[in-house]
Chain A
Amino acid sequence: GNSVTQMEGPVTLSEEAFLTINCTYTATGYPSLFWYVQYPGEGLQLLLKATKADDKGSNKGFEATYRKETTSFHLEKGSVQVSDSAVYFCALLSGAGSYQLTFGKGTKLSVIP
């Protein structure tokens, strides 16, 4: 079956530090990959996505590249801010018409001034 593995948190960084959150996946076929962000007490928001190998998704300074050879989709940001403190979820959708998004367990990021 499909699965997503994220690095365990919590991750604590100082403001302006470089962020990497690792994500690897197991899936059949050619999945689409996503990063979602959840702020305290809220639902999830789509942060970025990539639909095929070597695609780079980007949004709000965050980036992730779909690496089929390493089955990875690591999230990066060059300079984090306090407002980036949230829980980040990696997810995959296995093929068109799948209707079932598979999530990782989430990584909590805390950014301190």
Chain B
Amino acid sequence: DGGITQSPKYLFRKEGQNVTLSCEQNLNHDAMYWYRQDPGQGLRLIYYSQIVNDFQKGDIAEGYSVSREKKESFPLTVTSAQKNPTAFYLCASSIDGGGDGYTFGSGTRLTVV
């Protein structure tokens, strides 16, 4: 079955360490997205990529970095510059601009201690 796989589901890191969250899709979707979800704040866009080797900042890109070297993969690195990294991170993909809706992964819960 086609879908989006995020790994790991739970991640613990010490403060000051960089950490990379994985996102892989086998839907042949061109566009991929990273959202951050915090209680009571809904979803906020971190980065998105329309095609391979191209990506744009979303509303809260500071302290994060991404790459898009393959169509199937869109990893997110949470750097030590991110002041409050503990959150639930969701990856999504869409065929084009998202007019048919996004497909979401099941998320990674990152806890920084």
- CB neighbours (8 Å) of A89 from chain B are 42-43
Q: Which residues of B contact A41 (CB under 8 A)?
A: 106-107
User: In the complex, A46 Cα to B33 Cα: how many Å?
Assistant: 15
Cβ of B105 within 8 Å of any chain A Cβ, yes or no, is yes
Query: Can you offer 12 A-B residue contacts whose CB atoms are under 8 A?
Result: A32-B99, A41-B107, A43-B92, A44-B43, A93-B98, A97-B97, A98-B97, A99-B31, A99-B48, A100-B45, A101-B33, A101-B102
Q: How many residues of B contact A (CB 8 A)?
A: 28
Q: Which residues of B contact A46 (CB under 8 A)?
A: 101-103
Name the segment of A21-29, A69-77, A103-111 touching the other chain: A103-111
Flag if A99 contacts B101 (CB, 8 Å). Answer: no
Query: Is there an interface contact between B42 and A104, defined as CB atoms closer than 8 Å?
Result: yes
Interface: B50 (CB within 8 A)? yes
Residues of chain B at the chain A interface (Cβ within 8 Å) = 4, 6, 31, 33, 40-43, 45, 48, 50, 56, 58, 90, 92, 94, 96-107
Q: Which residues in A have their C-beta under 8 angstroms from that of B50?
A: 99
A-B contact count (CB 8 A): 59
Q: Give the number of chain A interface residues (Cβ < 8 Å).
A: 23
Bound complex: CA A46 to CA B100 (Å): 9
Given contacts A99-B31, A99-B48, A104-B42, 7 further A-B contacts (CB under 8 A): A41-B106, A44-B90, A46-B103, A93-B98, A100-B45, A101-B33, A103-B42
Task: Indicate the member of B45, B56, B101, B103 with the most A CB atoms within 10 Å.
Answer: B101
- Choose from B4, B31, B97, B102 the contact partner of A96 (Cβ within 8 Å): B97
